[in-house]
Amino acid sequence: MAAVVAATALKGRGARNARVLRGILSGATANKAQNRTRALQSHSSSECKEEPEPLSPELEYIPRKRGKNPMKAVELAWAIGFPCGILLFILTKREVDKDRLKQMKARQNMRASNTGEYSLYTRTWLGYLFYRQQLRRARNRYPKGHSRTQPRLFNGVKVLPIPVLSDNYSYLIIDTQARLAVAVDPSDPQAVQASIEKEGVTLVAILCTHKHWDHSGGNRDLSRRHQECRVYGSPEDGIPYLTHPLCHQDVVSVGRLQIRALATPGHTQGHLVYLLDGEPYKGPSCLFSGDLLFLSGCGRTFEGTAETMLSSLDTVLGLGDDTLLWPGHEYAEENLGFAGVVEPENLARERKLQWVQRQRMERKGTCPSTLGEERSYNPFLRTHCLVLQEALGPGLGPSEDDGYSRAQLLEKLRRLKDLHKSK
């Protein structure tokens, strides 16, 4: 077709027109080829996105700026804030724990009851060697005893405190008519024997409150010296040279003396206290409390729980107010000082402290007190008092389980007392 048109043009209009027409036809052919190529490319890339339509010449193209990622700030804050928060928590916890460090030391003393130093003292010969060393030092330092004591004489019954070691007390309970004597916790056999000879009596029984050497160390020498002497105590406590085991409420009779054993575990598993009945001699009953109860204090809980110790103290609280308390140690001034920390406005404690300080200035003993007095100022016997519960912080007040809350308070008192002593 193109050739026919070209020939016609050549014949009709001349060579010049023929060249123009040939150029137009060749351009049309090229355009057709390009259109065919674009169609093929469009067909082969049918799955691709269509090209955007060209903008109108009147519109100006403005390139779109890439926006900031909002999560980048969150990630940065997390990367910085998390470790800072951890560090702040650690520092804050350290500050809070500073006040607990001393309490932890006190608890460690209690946890050492079945291991470590306590086990060495109670279960090995090292404890006996330590006791012998204490004995030699005390005899050199206090040749006449650490305190000056006064006996109490009732109707045919005499109670004689014997100061031994650095702050312990042993006792002779004497039937003055029968000239028979009972020794309580004779830790220094030499001092006890001297008192026996001075009083001119026969030792027929030893009452041991518990196994610790500072309460039982004289059992061997005295029982060998006095062949008829019987050694009483709890079979659960491993008391040296025990001959006559006792249980709760068992009674030991010596002449007019009627002495009842009361089981009071806590300080040790088999701790006993001894109650001399005052009825036969028409006088006050006497409680020999060992390491359960002191003037304005109580013993440490080495082999028990706070609940166990609370139950033992309640056993003592059930006795009469006029019962005389004969403790195992001279701790009065220190204990009353601590009682002033937890109950500073207790007037009964203040009066008793002033009396004790006068006594100690002259190196006089402070026993006995009475259980009625102890109820008025001994914080370990006052766990039922709301004033004391409020003074030691929240969470220890009366609850449905009153025994548990009182045990908590007793445990906290004991920890505070240990810290007070360590200062």
| Active-site residue, 244 included | no
User: 250-255 long-range CB contacts below 8 Å, 24 or more apart?
Assistant: 252/182, 252/205, 252/207, 254/173, 254/175, 254/180, 254/182, 254/204, 254/205, 255/175, 255/177, 255/178, 255/180
> Which position among 188, 237, 291, 418 bears the catalytic label?
291
> Which position among 210, 226, 237, 418 bears the catalytic label?
210
| Active-site residue, 401 included | no
> Which position among 226, 267, 271, 418 bears the catalytic label?
267
> Which position among 146, 188, 215, 271 bears the catalytic label?
215
CB 377 within 8 A of CB 385: no
| Active-site residue, 418 included | no
Residue with token string 């060749």 = 26
> Which position among 146, 175, 188, 212 bears the catalytic label?
212
Burial of 75 (0-12, 13-18, 19+ CB in 10 A): exposed
Amino acid, single-letter form, for residue 395: G
**What's the rounded Cα separation, in Å, for the pair 168 and 161?**
10
| Active-site residue, 210 included | yes
> Which position among 175, 214, 237, 418 bears the catalytic label?
214
| Active-site residue, 212 included | yes
| Active-site residue, 215 included | yes
Angle of CA points 169, 173, 175, to nearest 5°: 165
| Active-site residue, 402 included | no
Please give, one letter per residue, the 3-state secondary structure of 405-416.
Answer: HHHHHHHHHHHH
CB 419 within 8 A of CB 108: no
Question: Where in the sequence numbering do the catalytic residues fall?
Answer: 210, 212, 214-215, 267, 291, 329
